[in-house]
Structure 1
Amino acid sequence: MKRLLVPSAALLWGLQFAFLNPALALLLVALFNASPAEVGWVLAVYNASGFVSSLLLPAYADRAMDYLRPLLACGVLTLVLAAVLAVSTSLPIAVVGLIVLGGPAGVGSSLLFAHLKHSGAGTADVVNTRAIVSFAWVAGPPLATFIMGGLGNRAILLALGAVAVLNVATTAAMISRRRSVPVETRPRADADGGQLFSKTGVAAVVSFIALQATNSAAVSIMGLFVTRGLGVDVIWAGIALGVSAALEIPALFLIGRVSRRFSSRALIASGCVAGFAYYAAMAFVSNPATLIALQMLNAWFFGIVAGVGLTLFQRLIPRPGLASGLYTNTRRVGAIVSGPVIALGSTTAIGYQGVFATCAALTVLALLVMVLAGREPRRVPQRELLATTAPKSGF
C-alpha cells in the first residue's frame, strides 16, 4: 500500500490539471458568460499567478525542507477553488478565485516531484512517475468532456472537488508515513553528479524554453496544418495528437529503464535528434498516414523533454523545489515564445510547414546551447603544470 502512495498522488494531480485546464475556457463562457476577449485576459492572469506561485511556493518549501505540507495546502486550495467556481455567478469573483487559489494550487505537481528528489528518488523513479502524469493527461480530457456532456458543465467542478479530496487524503497519508519511517534526505548519486546552478543551469533553462516552445507551437497549429496544409478533415489533427500522447507513456517507461545506463545529457541529445527529425519531416508531410507514423518521433522527443528534463534541472539546481518550479515555468514561457515562432514560420513561402521548419532549427539551436555550455574546461595534467611553472635551467 505504501508503494502506491506516490503513483496514486501522481495520477490524481495529473487528473486535477487534466480536468480543469482544458475545460476552463468553456466554463468561463458557460457559467459566467465571458466574452472571447475576457476569456483571453482571464487565462493570462491565471497563468501569471501560476508562474509566480511556481517560484515562491517551492522556494518556501526549500527553506522549510518540507514539500508535503505545502502539497497538502495545494490540495485544500483546489477544493476551495472548485467550491468558489461552483457557487459563484460573478466573473470577477471567479477571476479572484483563479488568481488567489488556482495559481498556488497548480504548483502541486512541482512539489510532488520536489518531494521525490528530496526523498532520494533516482532518474528512473522520477521519469516513471512522470509517465503516470502523462497517462492522466491522456484519460483526463476525454473523461472531463464526458462528464460535462452527460451531467452538465458544473459537474466537472464536483469531479475536481472529489479529486482534490483524494489528493488531500493521499498527501496526508504520505505525511503520516514520513513520521513513522524517517526518510533519507540526501539524494542518491547519479551518473552525471550534482552541479551548482551555474552557466550550465542557465543554458538548461534557455534550451528547455526553446524546446517547450517548439512543442507548444506544433500542437497549436496542428489543426490548421491538417485542414489547410494537408487539406483533410480536422479529425486527423486530434488523431495525431492522441497517438503522440498515447505513445509518450511507453516512451517514458522505456526512458526510465535506459536512464540507468545512459546519462541525462546523452538522452536529451537523443531527444533533440528525434525532435529535429520529426519537425524536419513534418515540413514535407503530404498525407495523414505519414503524419501519424511520425508521431513516434514526437513521442520520444517530448518524453525526453518531459521526463529527463525535470531530472536534469533537479541535478543542476541544488534546491528541489526551485528546480521543479523553474522546469514547470519553462513550459509556460515556452508557450509565450511559441507565438513568435508561429508568426515567423507561417509567413514563409511554405506556409504552416514553415512553422515546423522553424521548430527544427530551434531544436538544433537548443541542443548546441546545452552542448557548448556543458563542456568542461580542459584539465591540465599535474606534470604538465609543474613543467610550465618550474624555473628553467640556465644551461
Structure 2
Amino acid sequence: MSETSKQRVSFRFYLLSAFAGLASSLIYPLMSLFLVDGLGTEPMMIGVYTVSVTLSGLIISQWLGNKADRGSNPRQLFSIAICSFMVAVFIYANTETFFLVWLTGIVFMALGNSATPQMLTLGRQWANANRVDTTVFNARVRAAISFAWMTGPPLAFALASAFSYQTSFYAAGACALIALLYLRFGVPDSNQQQAVKTSQEIAHPHFSFWLLAAAMAAGMAANLMYSSSLPLYVSRELGFATHWPGVFMGLVACLEIPVMLFSANLARRISKEWVLIMAFIFALIFYLGIFNATQIWHFIALQTINALFYGLFAGVGLTLMQEQIPERIGFTSASYSNSLKIGMMMGTSLTGLIAQFSSFQYASIGAMIAIIIALLALIGFMRFQPQDGHC
C-alpha cells in the first residue's frame, strides 16, 4: 500500500473514532441529570447506576478482548457492541422507570461500552498489517476521540435544554448508526488473519503490565477528581460565575489535542515511559497550582499545564500498553480502556468523599496523591519490565 493510500485509510479510522466518540459524548455527561431530573430518582441512585454499569462493562470488555485475541473478528465485535449501544439509547428515550434504565445499562450499555476498545483493536491490527507508525496512529485516534468529547457534551445539554433528553439520546443513536455504516462501507479490514489460539498459546501479562495499568488508572482518577470538583469549587467556594467551569474545560480540550499529536514525535526522541513521567510531573505542578489559585486568570493560565499533562498522558498510554503484549492487541486495548474507566469511577467517588469531610478545594490534594501513586507505579513498571520489553 502506498503512503498516500495509508494516509487516506488512516483518516477513515480517525473519522470512525470521532463518530463513535461523539455517540458516547452525547449521552454519558447527561446521565446523572437525566436520572435525577428526568426520572425523578434520588441522587444516590446515580452512584448505583454508574458503578453497576461500569463493573458490568469491565467484565464484558475484557471478555470481548480475549475473544479478539483468540481469532474473533473485531469488526464483528465492534458491530455487535455499537448495535447494543443503539438498543440502550432507544430504551432510555422511551422509558420512565429507573429499574428499566438500570437493567438496560447493565446489559446493553455495558456491552455498548466495549465498542471503543474493539475499535482500538481494529485500528491497531490494520496499522500493524500495513506497517503504519502505531504511536502516531494511536495518538491521532485519541485526538479524534478528544475532539468528539470537546463538542459532544455542550451539544447534548443544548439538545436536552431546547428539546428533551430523548432528542439527545436519539442523536447519540444516530451517531452510532453512522459509525456502524461507516465501518461497513468506509473502513477496510485489517487483512490480518489471526489463527484461533488455545489458552495454552495465549501469552499472559507480566506483573509489570498491571503496574502500568495501575499508573493509567491513577492518572485518570486524578483527572476526574479535578474535573468533578471544579464546577462546585469555583462557583460555591470561590464565587465565580457558573459559566467559568465550561470555559476552563473547553480551553483545555482545545489545547490538549495538538499536545496529543506532538506526543508521538516526542516519544521518538526519548521514550514513551519518559513521556508519561513528564506528563505526571506536569500534573503535579498543575494540581498544586489549582489548590492555590484564587483568580480567574490563574485558572486560565494553568490550563496550559493541564493540557500538557493530559495530552501527553493520553497520547502515548494506549500504544505503550499495546506494546507490552503485541500478540494480544484485543486484551491490551480492553485493559487500557478499563483502566481509564476504573480511574474515572475512583476519581468521581473520591471527590464526593473528600468534599464530604473537607471541601472541594482539597480534591486537588487528592489528585496530587493519585499522581504520586501513578508515578510510583510507572517507575515500578520500568524497574520490573522484562528485558525484551514485552510483558
| TM-superposed deviation, 1:139 | 0.3
| Structure 1, 55-64 or 368-377: larger mean CA deviation | 368-377
Q: Residue type of the partner of 1:303?
A: G
Partner of 1:387: none
Structure-2-length-normalised TM-score: 0.85
The 5 Å alignment of 1:1-395 reads: 2-29=9-36, 31-119=38-126, 120=128, 121=132, 122-173=134-185, 177-178=188-189, 182-183=191-192, 197-318=205-326, 319-338=328-347, 339-340=349-350, 343=353, 351-375=359-383
| TM-superposed deviation, 1:335 | 2.9
Q: Percent identity?
A: 23
Per-residue CA deviation, residues 198-223 of structure 1 (Å, 9 max, x unaligned), is: 23212112222221111111111112
Instruction: Give the distance between the partners of 1:345 and 1:37, measured in 2 at CA.
Output: 15
Partner of 1:191: none
Distance 1:309 1:231, change over 3 A: same
| TM-superposed deviation, 1:135 | 0.4
| Structure 1, 211-220 or 114-123: larger mean CA deviation | 114-123
Structure 1 stretches lacking a partner, 5+ long: 186-194, 380-395
Instruction: Give the distance between the partners of 2:37 and 2:355, measured in 1 at CA.
Output: 34
| TM-superposed deviation, 1:358 | 3.6
| TM-superposed deviation, 1:67 | 1.1
Q: Residue type of the partner of 2:205?
A: F
Task: Look at both structures and tell me which one has the larger radius of gyration over its CA atoms.
Answer: 1
Per-residue CA deviation, residues 219-254 of structure 1 (Å, 9 max, x unaligned), is: 111123213443333332222122112211121122
Distance 1:266 1:39, change over 3 A: closer
Q: Secondary structure at the match of 2:270?
A: coil
Distance 1:267 1:89, change over 3 A: same
Instruction: Give the distance between the partners of 2:87 and 2:269, measured in 1 at CA.
Output: 44
Equivalences, count: 366
Distance 1:341 1:232, change over 3 A: closer
Q: Residue type of the partner of 1:134?
A: S
RMSD between aligned residues = 2.7
Per-residue CA deviation, residues 311-344 of structure 1 (Å, 9 max, x unaligned), is: 1111123411211211122222223433346645
Instruction: Give the distance between the partners of 1:73 and 1:341, measured in 2 at CA.
Output: 34
Structure 2 stretches lacking a partner, 5+ long: 1-7, 195-202
Instruction: Give the distance between the partners of 1:147 and 1:378, measured in 2 at CA.
Output: 50
Per-residue CA deviation, residues 80-139 of structure 1 (Å, 9 max, x unaligned), is: 223222333443333222221111111111111111222215111001110010000000
Instruction: Give the distance between the partners of 1:199 and 1:276, measured in 2 at CA.
Output: 26
Contact 1:341-1:359 at 8 Å conserved across structures: no
Q: Residue type of the partner of 2:296?
A: P
| TM-superposed deviation, 1:9 | 0.8
Contact 2:354-2:360 at 8 Å conserved across structures: no
Give runs of ≥4 in structure 1 deviating > 4 Å.
344-348, 376-379
Instruction: Give the distance between the partners of 1:246 and 1:14, measured in 2 at CA.
Output: 16
Structure-1-length-normalised TM-score: 0.84
Contact 1:68-1:174 at 8 Å conserved across structures: no
Partner of 2:200: none
Instruction: Give the distance between the partners of 1:149 and 1:272, measured in 2 at CA.
Output: 37
Per-residue CA deviation, residues 157-188 of structure 1 (Å, 9 max, x unaligned), is: 2212211211111221367x32xx83488xxx
Instruction: Give the distance between the partners of 2:67 and 2:216, measured in 1 at CA.
Output: 24
Instruction: Give the distance between the partners of 1:206 and 1:124, measured in 2 at CA.
Output: 24
